[in-house]
Amino acid sequence: MRLYVTGIGVISGIGRGVEENLASLRNGRHGMGRVSLFPTALDVPVCEVKESNDMLIQSLGLDKEFPYSRTALLGMVAAQEAIADAGLTRLDERVGFISGTSVGGMDRSEMFYNDYRQNPTDGGDIRLTASHDCADSTLRIAQYLGIQGYTSTISTACSSAANAILLGARLIRSGRLDTAIVGGVDPLCRFTLNGFNSLKILDTEHCRPYDESRAGLNLGEGAGYIVLQAEHAVRCTPYCLLSGYANANDAFHQTGSSPEGNGAYNAMRRALEVANVRPEEVSYINVHGTGTPSNDVTESRAMLRLFGEKVPPFASVKGYIGHALAGSEGIEAVYSVLCVARGIFLPNINYQTPIAETMLTPVTRYSEGNNVRHVLSNAFGFGGNDSSLLFSSVEV
């Protein structure tokens, strides 16, 4: 069974909507700046969505008195665009919604805790904790969209959105669904920023994925969703196919992947096997490319193991949008779909010098009209939970 991508939607620190994001990518406009969403002593670059919660609530036509989490709000924006793009008008029980997130409603819980800590007797609005669970944002988004069918939440750190897409694909192929709106969302919050700072992997400067001088990652936020459909459900011209997907777990470390990149290698290899595509047929790779010393070298080693001396053109977009955690592969899946549909190679900004251990050079200039038949997109999470997706031209 072929799986068609018929709709895409995104919001990130470089734009609201697909066209704004693409314009920023085309023109080299990144979204990095200082934290403005909450007070923090950390002076590190982040990529925030340039809209407050109040602005998002107003644009979505929601009740301004209800304490929506930023996770739910960002997800509503992106998923709504994807549904409209696919021309979906009937969201019955054969339409599912699967969303990945790590933060859930933690931004609201932090607001409650801050007030409660100052006044334990009667401080804090307990309603703010109602959205803490990750599944709450999924249900809020589904309710806003009018989805009555299957819903599920995936939380596997940075591979969450990829695994949501993977699950949606399996549900369609098993006959459970005809259509799945799939992807992920995460906002910035204190817990995330302080947590990554405790791991000593935040760069105090603009991140430099795949560069020898890389010193860590910059965090970001946003949401990205794609609409997957079985052929009989398609009512518009599709962008491309989701032809392959795989998840692997090397279980090497609580937060890190194995030095050899075993999980990354197995995820990429198996995704190609599912699609019956040979390594030499891959046109472009959207790499995970966080900019940390360990991630980029292990992902490089995995690519060299799979592709040998003929590693396809590749790039990381983390220099544009930061690392949006569970939302990353949702956003980057949208970018990967565009790469197939419009023949795009995206640039790996801030690159100057190859990593000494592997000497791989990413794409550094934006271009359109390339012969792009297969795009491999990687999302690698804590604990070595690694997923790869393969998007392919409809003509293959």
What is residue 107's predicted lDDT score, i.e. its pLDDT?
82
Q: Are 339 and 333 spatial neighbours (Cβ–Cβ below 8 Å)? A: no
Identify the CATH assignment for 3-392 out of 3.40.50.80, 3.40.47.10, 3.30.930.10, 3.30.365.10. 3.40.47.10
Identify the pLDDT of residue 256: 67
Check residue 109 and give its pLDDT.
Answer: 76
How much of the chain, in percent, has pLDDT values that exceed 90?
A: 84
Tens digit of each residue's pLDDT (9 = 90 or more) over 32-55: 999 999 999 999 999 999 999 999
Q: Which residues are catalytic?
A: 158, 288, 323
Reported confidence tier of residue 253, pLDDT bands at 50, 70, 90: low
Q: If you average pLDDT over every residue of the chain, what do you get?
A: 94
Span 204-235, pLDDT tens digits: 999 999 999 999 999 999 999 999 999 999 99
DSSP collapsed to 3 states, the chain: CCEEEEEEEEEECCEECHHHHHHHHHHCCCCEECCCCCCCCCCCCEECCCCCHHHHHHHHCCCCCCCCCHHHHHHHHHHHHHHHHHCCCCCCCCEEEEEECCCCCHHHHHHHHHHHHHCCCCCCCHHHHHHCCHHHHHHHHHHHHCCCCCEEEECCHHHHHHHHHHHHHHHHHCCCCCEEEEEEEECCCHHHHHHHHHCCCECCCCCCCCCCCCCCECEECEEEEEEEEEHHHCCCCCCEEEEEEEEEECCCCCCCCCCCCHHHHHHHHHHHHHHCCCHHHCCEEECCCCCCHHHHHHHHHHHHHHHCCCCCCEECCHHHHCECHHHHHHHHHHHHHHHHHHCCECCCCCCCCCCCCCCCCCCCCCECCCCCCEEEEEEECHHHEEEEEEEECCCC
* 277-292 confidence digits (pLDDT tens): 999 999 999 999 999 9
What confidence score (pLDDT) does residue 132 get?
Answer: 81
Share of the chain above pLDDT 70, in %: 98
- Pick 385 or 188 by higher pLDDT: 188
Check whether 108 has a pLDDT greater than 80: no
pLDDT for the residue numbered 3: 98
What mean pLDDT do residues 340-367 have? 98
Which of 50-59, 176-185, 243-252 comes out lowest in average pLDDT?
243-252
Top pLDDT among 260 and 70 is at: 70
pLDDT surpasses 90 at 15: yes
Average pLDDT over residues 337-366: 98
Inform me whether the pLDDT recorded for 58 exceeds 80.
yes
- For helices 134-145 and 70-86, the axis angle rounded to 10 degrees is 40
Higher pLDDT, 395 or 348: 348
- Mean pLDDT across the stretch 112-118? 73
Domain boundaries, the chain: 3-392
Residue of higher predicted confidence among 118 and 379 = 379
pLDDT at residue 377 is higher than 70: yes
Q: What is the reported pLDDT for 255?
A: 64
Structure tokens at 318: 């983390």
CA atoms of 297 and 358, how far apart (whole Å):
7
Nearest CA-CA partner of 335 in 237, 220, 239, 233: 239
